[in-house]
Structure 1
Amino acid sequence: MGSSDRLPAPPLPDLYLSEGAVNDLADLIRGHINALFSISKNIAMGQDTRMFLKVAAYLCLISIIGGLTDFLRLGYASLVIVLTIPRLHEKYEDCIDRYILIGCRKLRQLYVRFDVECLGRVRKWILEKKKLS
């Protein structure tokens, strides 16, 4: 077979982004970034304590996981988890959902206990400090 026996290449489609699509995407990204800035400002000003605690907890979790492993192992483990967990959940959905509900109830009970015992003491201490000032 010579070079003259080759079939012509199929035509390539015209690829382009419309201005409207780019503007819509830019508006969406701008909206999400502005919401992030607003939440960050509320956290920095001390107006959203619950979100501050969530962010602090996630950063601590990331730090602990990062300290235990290197990037390559974390990438492989993440890939295995992402490919395995959905299939296992499909197969054992009823059993998993039941245990998740039990876990959520226990976590809610622990949070209420933590809120009453620890955060209640902190609130009481803050109120006492304000009264003394």
Structure 2
Amino acid sequence: MSEKAENLLNSVAETLAERGSKHKSVSFFTEETSETVSAKFNRLFGRQKPVHHILGGGKSADVLLWRNKKISASVLTGATIIWVIFEWLNYNFLTILSMLLVLGMIFQFIWSNASGLLSRSSSKVPRVKLPKELFVNVAVSVGNEVNRALEFLQDVSCGGNLKQMIVVVLGLWVAAMLGSWCNFLTVLYIGFVVLHTFPVLYEKYDDQIDNFVYQVLEQFQNNYRKLDAGVLSKIPRGSFKIKKDE
């Protein structure tokens, strides 16, 4: 009976030791994975999804991320040509529109008369007609973006997050300063170039950009703590009390 009891105790001790070692290994693994997951999620603005998914995941995201370099380069080149025509060559929209309409009318006039003289039978001149769905889609897209921007600004103003409020106000102030330095077309072109180049650069160098941004934010926080400890905390604050009518 004593040998059986000793064997039983030894088996129980071995099972407890195995369970303890398994529990330690599992907890160590979960801690390691949680650290790696938190490190992966330590992205700019709390980003947890790929850049392509954040930009919508469609053809516009492919263009912004230069999935097809020919299309992306042609879009950027077209925007640059439009900016050069209106900004450097001092053409306005009405002048360009009138010149294009005149050239189109001259082309159609020559086509309709030359075809009758050469073949003695007037050929059908191609006519340009824009579909109604194009204007509807453009209006709906612009309206959705405007409503989304208004909703974001109202959420920031009513959310109670002071830091986010300060960041948005500073961004609008920078936009106002840019508007005072250059015209609206140049501001749109600068924004288009930034939107067309920053996402692909961030997708390629996201770790370096995230580390740089967090270092800058940490430096700002340290400077603010020093300012708060040295200056702001020493400013006397008056106590405002409301006197009750007796």
Instruction: State the TM-score, normalized to the length of structure 1.
Output: 0.50
**Rg larger for:** 2
- Relative contact order, CA 8 A, sep 6+: which one is greater? 2
Instruction: State the TM-score, normalized to the length of structure 2.
Output: 0.29
